[in-house]
A and B are shown apart, each in its own frame.
Chain A
Amino acid sequence: MEKLRYALYTGCTARESTPELLKSTLAIADKLGIELVLLDEASCCGASHLQDYDDFLSLVLNARNICYAEKLGLTMVTICNTCQLNTAMTKHRLDSNSELKAKVNAKLAEVGLEYKGTSEVTHFLYALVQDFGLEKLAKMVKVPLSHFNIAPFYGCHNIRPSELQNLSNGGENPYNPTSLDDLIIACGGNNVDYAEKNKCCGFHAELQSPHTAAVLTGNAIAGAMDANADWMVTPCPLCHLKLDVQHHAASKAIGRDVKLPVLHMPQMVGLALGCTPTELGLNHHVTKVDFV
């Protein structure tokens, strides 16, 4: 098979509050022989909040990010669900509306860029599941995670709205997603089923509606604990920040002590591939990863 190459859009979180996500992504790409070209020119995707303020500006900025992947002639991979949503949404809106695309390109022309629509946008999880292949991944596992019950937490913006996400996520059904479960199994782990695995973590309402956000986080961790999970895994750094950092507020909000270690998706894969905890940045977690 030809070597897989992607343009990596890190988003902001992986360069700031979850440095372990970028570290572990690069570590497993190296082990798997996937080449990731960093898009250092990219800006913030707006995280669905800039979109509330200035929709057009968010389109221009996201189109600019995609331009840099197009220049490389590569598919863009994201490592944050919300980056995936906003980038894929921009692509979809521009590709299906030539008038809007022309308006955005008129702005991009001011900085010598043009959005063409030639690069696909997909989350790294789906690049692994669909392009790399789980069978091949399973064969490379050195340390099967067979001692662990692992709770997948999918994160909203990889699975909903399905009409948009199905363009890149292989037709995952948002009511019964399977990709992350399949990845856990490929890593030798035991996937646990629980009702909150495809639900919201509350991240986007944390500042303006802290109680709602904390209850959602608490319900998610409680659901995983009740399903006998040893730890959780998520492809989204925003979900990770909620689940890893906010368990005190979450416990208070739901009136029950909830706490579980939470791994980023590449950290889980990295453990199975035999990466060291330091290579995966496991020392950066607030809820200590005490099982390795």
Chain B
Amino acid sequence: MDAITSQQVTFKIFRFNEETDYLPFYNTYTLNVTHEEVVLDILNRIKWDHDGSLSYRRSCRHGICGICSIKINGKAILACKSRLFDLIKIFGTDLTIEPLSTKRVIKDLIIDKKDFWEKHAHVNPYLVSDIEETPASEHLVSPHDAEKLNEADYCIQCGACHYSCPALAINEQFMGPAAFAAAYRFSADVRDEGALERLHIVNQEAEGVWDCVKCMECAEACPKDVNPIEKITKLHNMIFEAGIAKNNVATRHAVGFAHSIMKHGLLDEGELVRYSEGNIGVMKHIPEAIAMFKNGKIVMPWNMPKSKNLDEIKKLVKSSSTVKF
């Protein structure tokens, strides 16, 4: 049997012009798409054959300028890189094309990325190094040292992760995965001397890495496999290693796990909340604690279960710990 080479797809496209429209609306087009077409081809066909007023950003057409990022059925993509047939495999033949953020639309699929660029700029996304302006030799980086960047330098600032981050959608102060990946990229560079300042920047409450919800949306959204959440985890580690972790609920929440595992092997959930929040902060959890207690959801300290062979765990926590708080 011949492979399917074309399919009929219904596209619903987000339309809005902030100068003339009161509310956004959707236009629907049914087109035959071929197996070699990418989303940008479809946008071009609609613009050139059906409606010249459709607006979207496009430039390099080979996945490096990062400007054509949009969302299809909620999935952030680069329009120039995503094949229609791959998207049909996930979502079927009804596809909704929307801007990365419907809140920030200027016209149709074009958004104002000001918040993205401000947050990106905030982490000093450049090498900080006190070198001579006319050095006598190259400042070489060995392959081994280059690997420390963990491909964070592949970021093309397309905003796919930034506008897929649910923490950022709720808390506008939060700097978001792209800014954190950039902070890591330069801080992990052997030529850089600005890491400590950057770590202080991403260590702030509400704005910094501690408010990440660990949903992994950023890893999934990135079209260049930068894996921002991995870099966020590394920034957490670097903050502890640099000894600048503040003594607050977020840091104690991380450290508390080590204490609990040392004592029980398993996590003492109640004690973790008390340790993280402190004796006063924990009070606000009393109503939910009472509701949980009434339903047999709280284990009393004297009944706290322990892992079998706990001595092994204690020995390993002692011998394998690499940081102190």
Query: Is A274 close to B, CB under 8 A?
Result: no
Q: Chain B nearest CB: distance from A137 CB in Å?
A: 26
Q: Chain A nearest CB: distance from B263 CB in Å?
A: 11
Query: Is A278 close to B, CB under 8 A?
Result: no
Closest to A198 in B: B74
Contacts of A136 in B (CB 8 A): none
Our pick among B74, B211, B253, B273 for the contact of A49 (Cβ within 8 Å) is: B253
Our pick among B174, B298, B316 for the contact of A17 (Cβ within 8 Å) is: B298
Given A12-B269, A208-B210, A53:B325 Cβ within 8 A: yes
Count of A-B contacts judged by CB separation below 8 Å:
208
B216 touches A157 (CB 8 A): yes
Query: Is B166 close to A, CB under 8 A?
Result: yes
Closest to A210 in B: B284
Contacts of A245 in B (CB 8 A): 288, 291-292, 297
Given A15-B266, A111-B316, A212-B167, A57:B249 Cβ within 8 A: no
Chain A, interface size category, equals 35 or more
Query: Is A69 close to B, CB under 8 A?
Result: no
Q: Chain B nearest CB: distance from A263 CB in Å?
A: 14
B297 touches A162 (CB 8 A): no
Given A60-B320, A107-B316, A208:B253 Cβ within 8 A: yes
Given A47-B267, A200-B217, A283-B295, A16:B320 Cβ within 8 A: no
A53 touches B292 (CB 8 A): no
Closest to A253 in B: B170
Measured in the bound complex, the distance between the Cα atoms of B269 and A47 in whole Å is: 12
Query: Is B73 close to A, CB under 8 A?
Result: yes
Measured in the bound complex, the distance between the Cα atoms of B79 and A147 in whole Å is: 43
Q: Chain A nearest CB: distance from B35 CB in Å?
A: 19
A175 touches B312 (CB 8 A): no
B269 touches A195 (CB 8 A): no
Measured in the bound complex, the distance between the Cα atoms of B291 and A249 in whole Å is: 13
Contacts of B297 in A (CB 8 A): 16-19, 245, 284, 286
A111 touches B255 (CB 8 A): no
Our pick among A113, A160, A207, A249 for the contact of B276 (Cβ within 8 Å) is: A207
Our pick among A44, A61, A216 for the contact of B316 (Cβ within 8 Å) is: A61
Contacts of B237 in A (CB 8 A): 52-55
Closest to A13 in B: B269
Query: Is A211 close to B, CB under 8 A?
Result: yes
A216 touches B298 (CB 8 A): no
B219 touches A53 (CB 8 A): no
Query: Is B146 close to A, CB under 8 A?
Result: no
Binary per-residue interface labels of chain B (202-220) against chain A in the complex, 1 for a CB within 8 Å, 0 otherwise: 0001100011111111011
B219 touches A202 (CB 8 A): no
Measured in the bound complex, the distance between the Cα atoms of B316 and A174 in whole Å is: 35
A161 touches B219 (CB 8 A): yes
Measured in the bound complex, the distance between the Cα atoms of B297 and A19 in whole Å is: 7
Which of B104-112, B181-189, B302-310 forms contacts with chain A?
B302-310
Query: Is B91 close to A, CB under 8 A?
Result: yes
Contacts of A55 in B (CB 8 A): 233, 237, 322
B291 touches A286 (CB 8 A): yes
Query: Is A226 close to B, CB under 8 A?
Result: no
Measured in the bound complex, the distance between the Cα atoms of B229 and A202 in whole Å is: 15
Closest to B245 in A: A53
Our pick among B171, B257, B315 for the contact of A111 (Cβ within 8 Å) is: B315
Contacts of A207 in B (CB 8 A): 249-250, 253, 273, 276-277
Contacts of A108 in B (CB 8 A): 316
Measured in the bound complex, the distance between the Cα atoms of B167 and A49 in whole Å is: 17
Closest to A18 in B: B297
B267 touches A44 (CB 8 A): yes
Query: Is B227 close to A, CB under 8 A?
Result: yes
B75 touches A175 (CB 8 A): yes
Query: Is A135 close to B, CB under 8 A?
Result: no
Query: Is B313 close to A, CB under 8 A?
Result: yes
Q: Chain A nearest CB: distance from B92 CB in Å?
A: 9
Our pick among A17, A52, A195 for the contact of B233 (Cβ within 8 Å) is: A52
7 CB-based A-B contacts, threshold 8 Å: A44-B261, A53-B251, A156-B215, A156-B216, A160-B217, A195-B74, A205-B167
Known A60-B316, A111-B315, A216-B166; 11 more pairs at CB < 8 Å: A42-B265, A49-B254, A51-B233, A54-B237, A64-B316, A110-B315, A204-B214, A209-B167, A209-B210, A245-B291, A284-B297
Interface residues of A (CB under 8 A from B): 12-13, 15-19, 40-44, 46-57, 60-61, 64, 85, 107-108, 110-111, 113, 156-157, 160-163, 173-176, 195, 199-200, 202, 204-205, 207-209, 211-213, 215-216, 245-246, 248-249, 283-286
Interface residues of B (CB under 8 A from A): 73-75, 90-91, 166-167, 170-171, 174, 205-206, 210-217, 219-220, 227, 229, 233, 236-237, 240, 248-251, 253-258, 260-261, 265-267, 269, 273, 276-277, 287-288, 291-292, 295-299, 305, 307-309, 312-313, 315-317, 319-323, 325
